[in-house]
């Protein structure tokens, strides 16, 4: 027979588990994860071996480089794990790089000379590749996806992309993710938030305080959806207070996106 202290310890673990799952928006009746607005810090690590010891309810990590073992370890600790991949750009170092035909590769992305914008109008060519990437995320048991570079229409891509082209592509990504029971985040693209917040489950935002774009993402919070935000240059004392008021989960990271992270102090 278990002792009273044993019952209390078990009850404590159950309560802690319930709180952790509530924090990251789990519901057993939901088809996929839907993270709720929170000021609790997240973790974004896209380089180096994933540090699973970081105390964060949500991890956003590279979908290829992160092992299934690391994902299992995080799940055992009741963490949610987001699968990062680039949906709107060509990266020559990826294992599937040879699948991208020449006609879909555009101009280099500013600051990333080896990476090229994609012609997102060509879903006939890109669709099979991106579906396979999402399938790989699902196979590894990720909870959601973070498809990057989904605002090409505002950049010099080498293609005459329009806002309508981008909306079509982004909504296609959201539908394909949901078919796989994966949550999907809108990466940046502040100009289309009002039209896309319904289709996406959360937002992943870079440097919105630095560029004064944060309020554009408030529709996600109003729809009870999380905004995971990161700053690379703005000091914490300038963005932590506003982030709490907006109910954003904001952190400070080095641009190298290793395990280093600075969080906001409790409000």
Backbone angles phi, psi at 229, to 5 degrees: -125, 145
Query: CA dist 8 to 13, 21, 76, Å?
Result: 9, 20, 21
How crowded is residue 198: how many other Cβ atoms within 10 Å of its Cβ? 12
Task: Please report, in tens digits, the pLDDT of each residue of the chain (267 residues total).
Answer: 444 444 444 444 443 444 444 444 444 445 899 999 999 999 999 999 999 999 999 999 999 999 999 999 999 999 999 999 999 999 999 999 999 999 999 999 999 999 999 999 999 999 999 999 999 999 999 999 999 999 999 999 999 999 999 999 999 999 999 999 999 999 999 999 999 999 999 999 999 999 999 999 999 999 999 999 999 999 999 999 999 999 999 999 999 999 999 999 987
Which domains occur in the chain, in start order? 4-263 (3.20.20.70)
How crowded is residue 126: how many other Cβ atoms within 10 Å of its Cβ? 22
pTM of the model: 0.89
């Amino acid at each position: 027979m278990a002792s009273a202290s044993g019952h209390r310890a078990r009850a404590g673990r159950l309560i802690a588990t319930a709180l952790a799952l509530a924090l990251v928006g789990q519901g057993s009746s939901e088809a996929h994860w839907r993270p709720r607005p929170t000021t609790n810090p997240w973790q974004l690590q896209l380089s180096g071996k994933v540090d699973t010891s970081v105390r964060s309810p949500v991890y956003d990590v590279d979908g290829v480089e992160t092992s299934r073992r690391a994902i299992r370890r995080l799940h055992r600790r009741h963490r949610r794990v987001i699968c990062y991949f680039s949906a709107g750009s060509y990266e020559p170092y990826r294992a599937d790089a040879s699948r991208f035909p020449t006609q879909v590769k555009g101009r280099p992305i500013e600051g990333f000379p080896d990476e090229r914008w994609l012609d997102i109008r060509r879903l006939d060519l890109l669709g099979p590749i991106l579906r396979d990437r999402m399938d790989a995320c699902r196979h590894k048991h990720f909870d959601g996806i973070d498809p990057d570079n989904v605002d090409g229409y505002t950049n010099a891509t080498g293609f005459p992309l329009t806002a309508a082209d981008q909306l079509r592509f982004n909504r296609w990504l959201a539908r394909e993710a949901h078919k796989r029971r994966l949550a999907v985040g809108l990466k940046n693209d502040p100009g289309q938030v009002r039209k896309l917040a319904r289709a996406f489950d959360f937002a992943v935002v870079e440097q919105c305080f630095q560029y004064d774009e944060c309020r554009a993402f408030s529709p996600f919070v109003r729809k009870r959806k999380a905004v995971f935000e990161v700053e690379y240059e703005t000091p914490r004392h300038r963005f932590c207070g506003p982030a709490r008021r907006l109910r954003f989960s904001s952190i400070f990271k080095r641009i190298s996106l290793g395990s280093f992270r600075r969080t906001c102090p409790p409000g």
